[in-house]
Amino acid sequence: MLIIWKDEFCIDHAAIDADHRNIIGRINYIIRAITPGCDLGEISSCLRELYRVTCAHFFRETILQEVSSFPHINEHRKLHERLLSELLDYIQYVEKLASETKGDRHLERELAACKSFLYRWILGHILDQDKKMTEYVEAMRTADDEVLNQDIEDLIPYIVKTAGVNAEMSRVV
């Protein structure tokens, strides 16, 4: 049950799509890594990396929405906050599993639930909410080059430098 990239996921044929591919690639990596007997500490580290990269992506989207006068920006920001909070809860859940349920016979079912959570977690957001940005893509091209073209991995220190680390993110970075 991996996420296969489809043309219908495309938003801007640029940074937003590259970020989404990066995020989906990380989710697929984690889904593959979750197997009976896997190292849950390693899974939790990957989830934390996913959280950091997703924070960077949401930061980029918000800046692009600001410069393009995207009308749903406030509601979109709240949805991002909710997604981050859900992921953070899941990271804590996996960490609890790692510390408490070694050898538990129900672990396999819990891990299957973790895979389906990741599968659904951001896909609906990309298809339903991010898709609304498609008609603002031209206006987004007026954004600061640093935000528009920066590789997502390099965007994390940029966020820390320019926007500070928000309370949620400071629990992970």
Distance CA 105, CA 117 (A): 20
**Residue-level length of the chain:** 173
- For Fe ion, which stretch binds (CB under 5 A), given 59-67, 85-93, 139-147, 155-163? 59-67
Query: Residues with Cβ < 8 Å from 125, sequence gap 6 or more?
Result: 79, 83
Q: How many residues bind Fe ion (CB under 5 A)?
A: 2
* H-assigned helices in the chain: 15-33, 40-67, 73-100, 107-121, 123-124, 137-140, 145-149, 152-162, 167-170
- What is the smallest separation between the CB atom of 105 and Fe ion, expressed in angstroms? 38
130 sits near Fe ion (criterion: CB under 5 A): yes
| Binders in 90-129 for Fe ion, by CB under 5 A | none
**Between 12 and 61, CB nearer to Fe ion:** 61
Site string for Fe ion, 14-53 (x = CB under 5 A): ----------------------------------------
Residues interacting with Fe ion, by CB under 5 A? 61, 130
